[in-house]
Structure formats: structure tokens, C-alpha cells
A and B are shown apart, each in its own frame.
Chain A
Amino acid sequence: MPLKIGVIGAGYAGFDSMTPGLSTRELMFEAASRAYEDAGINPRKDVQSFICCTEDFWEGISITDEYMPDQLGAVLRPLCTVSSDGLVGVATACMHIASGLADVAVVESHSKMSDVVNPSEIVSLGFDPTYTRHLDVDPNFVAGLEMSRFLKETKTRRESCATVAVKNRKNALLNPRGVYGANLTKEEVLNSHNGMAPLSELEISMPSDASIVLVLASAEKARKLAKSRTVWINGIGWSSDTPWIEDRDLSRAAYAEQSAWRAYKMAGVRSPASYFDLAEVDDTYAFKELQHLEALKLAPKGKAGRMVDAGSFDQDGRLPVNTSGGSLGVGHLIEATGLHKMLEAVLQLRGEAGRLQIPKARKALVQSWRGIPTGSGAVAVLGVN
């Protein structure tokens, strides 16, 4: 039976490669103010739960929930940190609402990567301290290994990954949030610096800053407040593969398969490949979009590469994928990545996507991955009446 929890408000701030004029808290305040106005709610009275998705080391502060309440209107209210991608924060909000704990729940996540002076070292600190960290290599090597394995196992052409990069960077040119919009050629992508072969530099998403706030509500509350603009979360799932990179089957995105299985079951999706009007899936590295599409059963195994080359995933294709530009086009938003994808899907389903609008968009898939070195991710199935 579909979950039917409503997204009744969305707000954001930033979406730039750096935001020197605003502190993290100011970015959050702006995003929250816009989200609350969009939802027509007063956070001091109408919200029973506030959920923030952050990681200490990205913030440069320990116990980051300490610094969340004021700017969200959550002082002396239930607020917590879920140390995971924003989509798991959304799943948490869904559980709060489904259990009756809350009628309205707020989820926030952000990236202020422009403040981080040593991002590569921080990612390395996520490696196993005994067995892996000492390797002292650019952590993208894991993506290089995985890409190599994925290409081999699925017989995907190397060039198809470059197509993803070209598609998403070009899509971002029409997205007001598209920080890294650009017209690239496949040759430029393939010839870009090749430090982690077969992965090339233009296939790696670059960081950007933003804060995103979503307001969720029970069906009853949504009908009262948001009337016709509600976007429904009909299914949601999240999963974690082993943290040991060495133990993982690097050709598969097991977390995406497992999350999708749970979300599809909940939402009653039986034929994913033909069910959705659009998909926003993780493309932290260009090859990941293809790997994820196959894991999500949006493309048959080994076929995603050919489909992207044929234009199946373009904005006017059979299944528009990452019309927003994805992380490659909008910038990597660390824990806020999943929320960004939800934001783009919500705008599409509301018919508010402007130049990016996919006609008659009614059903969207949103998927996120937590990035290296994790095997964790989540999937949400969204729809409108």
C-alpha cells in the first residue's frame, strides 16, 4: 500500500561554487524561510520534528546538531541529526509521520564545501584506519577501481560514461541551479586528466554550496495545507552494503538494488523501466549513473551505456535522467545530494521546472548514494494525483 506522505514545501539557498557572503547557518535560514513560506507554515507552531543530515568532519565542528536549531525555527523543539544522506532524513521524516509522532516534519541538509580546505583528506579519513587509510592515495581511486570492474562486467563502453558527463553538464546550462553548466564534447571528457584510469577528471563531479529544506506532512495535513501542489512520497527504502571495499562486489550497486526493492514494493511499482516519467539518480562519477540505472532496473543489465548514447535519457528521451544536470552539472552537495534530487523531482512533478520541465511528469524516481568509501544509499518513489 503506497506510503502517501506529502512534500508540501521546498526551499533552497546557495547553489554556487562558493558562498562567501553567507555562513552555513545563514544559508540554512534562507532555505528554511523559503520552504516555510512555500508550505504556508509557521515552524514555531506547525512542525513536530526537525531532521538535519550532516557529518561532523564536513562541518569542521563536532556534534553538529548543536548549530542547527535557531536558523530553522527549531529552538526548544524536537530536532535531531541523522548522519546520512538527505534521502535517509526524508525516510526518517516519513517514519515520524507514519508512526503518528508528527503531522509535519522538516528535513534539512546542506553543503558548504567551499569552506573545506582539504576535502580529499577528509574523504580519506572515512577509510578503514587500519587497513586502507595508510595507502595515502587520492580517494577517487576507489571510483576508478569500481568503474573498471563495472565496464568489464557489463561490457559498457568507456565512451558511454563520457556521454553521461556531456548530457548532465549540458542539462545544467538550463537549470538556474546548474553551477557547472557547460557544453562539453565527448573527446574533451575522454581526454581530460586521467589520474584514476579509466576515470577521467571531467567525469568527477565538483563540489558546490547549497542548503535545501523540505517540509513533509501527513496526507490529512497535506490536504489541508498544500491542496493541489502536494507531491506524494509513495515508497522509500534505504540500505547499506558492507563498509569493507575489499568485500564488495564492485560491479554492482547493491545498496541501490536493495533500496529500490523496498521502495518499489511499498509504492507498488512492478515494472520500473516503464513506470517513471523521470529519474534523478546519483552521478557523483559519470559511470555511476549507468550503474545505478541498471541497479534500479530502469535499464537492463549491460544496456544503460547504449541507451544513454542513443539519447534515451535526454530531456526529450524515453526516460529523462538527471534533467537537472545531476551532481556533475549542479555540483556535488555531499549529504544534501539526495535532498537536491528530491527538490528537482518535486519541481518537475509540480510543473514548476521551467526550461527543464518534462511534459506530463507524474511519477519520479529519486536515488542517492553516500559516496566513497560507503556502500550506502536510498531510493524514493514520488508521484502526484
Chain B
Amino acid sequence: MVGTRMKRRVAIVGAGMTLFRRRMLETGKELSFEATKMALDSAGLTLNDVDSVVSGSAPDAFDGVHMKGEYLLDGMGAIGKPYQRVYVGGGTGVFTPAAGWWNVASGFSDVCLCVAEEKMSPLHPHPQYAFWSIFDQILERPLGVTLLWIFSLEMRRYMHKYGIKEEEIATVAVKNKGNAIDHPCSQLASKITVDDVMNSEPICWPVKRLDVSPPSDGAATVILASEKVAKKLTDQPVWLDGIGWTLDSTHWTNRDLAYPEYVEKAARMAYKMAGIKNPRKEIDIAEVYDPFDYKELHHMEGLQLAGKGEAAKMAVEGITQRDGELPVCPSGGLLGVGNPIAAAGMMKICEIFWQLRGEAGKRQVKKDARTGLAQAWGDLMQVGTVCVMRS
């Protein structure tokens, strides 16, 4: 019921995702359909039960389709429904359920489908070329800037400021690609070693091939419901208790890249909403955005899960392993499962959903996880999006 300024509790009641692969033969509409059908089936719902749809998908340039949110909406089940596409670059996948949250919490909807999709493969000769167009036409494009270039700057700065070694960072790639072996949708699951990472092809020093996640196609969907509806549908609703997002200045060249302040602010917004005062103690499990291995560490610090410059130590000590004190990326993350930009963030939401319900199979973490977090990042190293979930 709209208009009474209420904040209703919102739960995730179903989830689904496709395989993540370098090139899927399905169209973006079909990928969306597969993930959404799976989510609806898992919750015992049909489109008739859905009040609204939110979609998340990153650059239209991948598909070469203008207003691609419109193009995709039939595959997302949105015909005849209130439909909105939200878009914050790489942060989109975790922002999509946040948008679902406000559709339901506001009273505008009782059941909201949140569909994240990405099809990067259409872009030739390589999806990375889409990222050429994210840069300022006058000040940056003439430099031939790429994402790999600017992230290597960030990685270098982070390593330099806190004295972190490449080998320490490489342990994250080893962990996540290994974790991904147990994820049925994973694209790049493999048992590798730190030496493998160190010997892999240099892309843009210090970034090497095995430090980076791949371009991918895929889709993932969650279904959000109001408390009343959620309790009717399932004994195990996963409450979306906190959402947060923050965007930093366009002028990334003027910022100290060593610390993601915008991730901290996004996290604090979500923690405040969820009533979390000591994240390091209260967060049991975290899906932290890992398009590059150093990013998992960088973001853990922004999320207040590690002190500044201290995440590497936690990784090396095994604290972030599945059987560790604070499992990070038990799914295998972007490094292992794949990185279809928006769908990758949503994959993390799905993972926390399944983990908090004890449905993560071989990936299930050892500890009794009750409170989980998913985080994504993107733009010009600029945006943090965070969701806090509870069983």
C-alpha cells in the first residue's frame, strides 16, 4: 500500500542462473528467459504472480543495440508490467536487486523479478573494445586507454602504498578458480598455483592473464517479495536487509586509487540499514567483487572486512577460504565462474542466497552462515554497490 512512507521488509525467495561461457549461442533475451524461468520455478511462481520487473545490463555497446533494456524485456517477463532498467556499469549486478528492494519496500510491488543479463560476445574483435567508449572523448580516448590499463594503475598503486606482493595477490586467483570447480555454471574453474599466475602472460604490468576474469555471456535472476508474500512462499526467506550504493567523481585521475572510498560509503549505507555495527564480526560470508584478483583484497578493505593494506595477509593465512573464518567468494567469483558484467554481480547475490539456505552443495561453507554480503564495482573505478542479506 503506497503513500504511508513505510519501509517493508523484503526477502529473496528464488534464484536462477545460466551457464557462464565466453560465447553462448542464445540471444540476450533467451539467456534472460532461462535464468528467470529457473528462478520462478524454484519459487513456485509464474509471471502472473509478478508485479514488476527490474533489469540490469551493462554497456549497450556489447550487443550493439540501442536502449537494450527495451530489447531484452520480453525475455525478462516484463511485457505489460512496470519495468525499469538500472545501470551503474560493473556495479549493476548487485544494484539490480537493490532496485528490486525499492520496488517492494515502497509498497509499489509485492513481487519483483530482478534479472541481470550480459552478452559480451557479439562485439568483435574482442569485448574489451566496448570499454574504449567509456572514456572521455577529449581528455582520455586519444591516449588509447583501456580498462586493463587503468586497473593496472590501480593495482600498482595499491601494491606500492601497502607493500603488497604480486604473489600474495595471486593467492586470490588460486582460491577463486579452485572454488569454481564446484560451481556448475563456471567458465574458468581450474586448479592452478601461484607460480602459474606469476608465469602467465603479462597483459599490462602488474596485471597478468591469470589475474583477470574473462569476458562472458550469461544471465542470473532473483525474485524479491514482501514479507507477507515471502512467508507464504517459503520457510527460508533470505532477507535483503541492507542496500547501499555510492558513485565517486568522474575524475579518476585526481583520486588516490589505493583505497576505494566509494565502496566504504556504499557499505556503510547498507550496514546502517541492516543494523550492522561491526562488519568484520557480523558478516559471516562475503561475495566480494573480483574481476581482478587484487580487487577482492582492495574491496575487502573498502567493505571494512579488513584493515587498510591487511586483506592480503588474511588471504595468505587462509582466512578467506571456504573453511576459513571469513569465506570470501566461495562461489569461485568472477575469476572462476566468469564475468558477464551485470550477471556476474547477480551470480554473487544468488550464491549468498543459496549459501544462507544451505543449498550451495559442494560449495557450502563450513561455518553456520547467517549474514552475508555481496558487492560489485565498476565505472571509472568509481561505483560501489552493496547488498546485505540474512537468513
Contacts and interface: CB of A to CB of B under 8 A. Distances in A.
Interface in A211-243: 218-220, 237-243
A61 interface: yes
B4 interface: yes
B369 interface: no
A63 B80 contact: no
B379 A65 contact: yes
Nearest to B55: A83
Interface residues of B, number: 70
B260 to A, nearest CB: 11
Contact of B84 (A65, A69, A88, A219): A88
B147 to A, nearest CB: 11
Contacts of B61: 56, 62
Contacts of A373: 70
Chain A: interface size category: 35 or more
B143 interface: no
A63 B67 contact: no
B79 A242 contact: yes
A60 B79 CA distance: 29
Nearest to A64: B87
B1 A1 contact: yes
Nearest to A72: B247
B365 to A, nearest CB: 30
Given A76-B248, A79-B247, A239-B80, A129 B64 contact: yes
Contact of A254 (B8, B65, B80, B85): B80
Contacts of A3: 2-3
Contacts of B6: 98-100
B133 A62 contact: yes
B80 A84 contact: no
B20 interface: no
Contacts of A244: 74
A22 to B, nearest CB: 15
Interface in A52-86: 55-57, 60-63, 65-70, 74-84
A373 B67 CA distance: 9
Interface string A110-142: 000000000000110110111000000000000
Interface in B71-130: 71-74, 78-89, 95, 99, 101-103, 105-108, 130
A57 B60 contact: yes
Contacts of A242: 74, 79
Contacts of B59: 56, 62-63
A262 interface: yes
A94 to B, nearest CB: 7
B86 A374 contact: no
Contact of B251 (A70, A218, A219): A70
A96 interface: yes
A94 B4 CA distance: 12
19 contacts: A2-B3, A55-B67, A56-B59, A62-B134, A63-B134, A65-B247, A65-B383, A67-B250, A88-B84, A95-B102, A96-B106, A99-B107, A125-B64, A125-B66, A218-B5, A238-B83, A239-B80, A266-B3, A374-B70
Given A125-B65, A240-B82, A243-B74, 19 more contacts: A1-B2, A56-B59, A66-B379, A69-B248, A70-B249, A75-B247, A78-B269, A79-B245, A79-B246, A80-B247, A82-B85, A82-B87, A83-B67, A95-B103, A98-B106, A100-B7, A101-B105, A125-B66, A238-B84
